[in-house]
Amino acid sequence: MLNRLCVVDKMMDIVIPNNNEEEFIAMAEKLGYNALRFLYDINEYGKKFESKKIKVYTGILADSRNIIKNRHEKVFVAVKSFGDDREIIEQSKADMIFAFEDSTKRDFIHQRASGLNHIMCKLAKENNVTIGFSLSSILNSGDKHVVLGRMKQNIKMCKKTRTKTAIASFAKKPSEMRSVHDLKSLFKILGR
């Protein structure tokens, strides 16, 4: 069965490796994770990695062009937000959509241009799509305060509509990973 719960509740992190899987496994063991999910491009999906201390899962990192989801297969599909995510949420093609707050739009006077709205949250709840929050978005942003404000607004909307949420590092390098405690604390501060 797919893991659709909050990532930090299961002590699992989601990362995007680039032939550095062993380094990610070593870092996850040091940081106290029980499980790790590698997201691969659809062409690279199928790699298998074993670890004695932690469970290793795989998934597909899709985009708007190659998101083909076969619900009969137990394949975890994550999509990085690209601006027009409503279609993906409506058709329930993905298990998770993350990094809404990376939008390049300017914020409005009384509201953040966070890439998510209450209608999309309701659709995500109805179609069992998890809204993901990326620590990598914060770490790699030039305007960390803007990204944090957008995350806070998105978490508030998800909480109001009772949409499933998850926070993970979505790290591309092992040095971008943080401990389970750090992710839980950040999520709590942001309103979850």
Question: Which CATH number does the domain housing residue 41 bear?
Answer: 3.20.20.140
- At residue 159 the predicted structure's pLDDT band, cuts being 50, 70 and 90, is very high
Count: domains in the chain? 1
pLDDT at 99: 84
> Mean pLDDT across the stretch 93-102?
84
Range of the domain at 85: 7-189
In a domain, 1, yes or no: no
Q: Establish if 2 belongs to a structural domain.
A: no
Q: What is the DSSP letter of 107?
A: P
Residue 5 has pLDDT above 60, yes or no: no
Torsion of the alpha carbons at 95, 67, 127 and 71, rounded to the nearest 10: -80
At 192 the pLDDT is 72
R_g over Cα of the chain: 16
pLDDT digits (tens, 9 = 90+) for 174-188: 999 999 889 989 888
- CA dist., res. 87 & res. 144, Å (int): 28
Listed in sequence order, the residues at least 6 apart from 17 whose beta carbon sits closer than 8 Å to its beta carbon are: 24, 38, 40, 172
pLDDT in tens, 124-151: 999 999 999 999 988 888 888 888 888 8
Give residue 106's pLDDT band: very low, low, confident or very high (50, 70, 90): low
Nearest of 37, 3, 6, 2 to residue 155 by alpha carbon: 6
Residue 62 falls inside a structural domain: yes
Give the pTM: 0.83
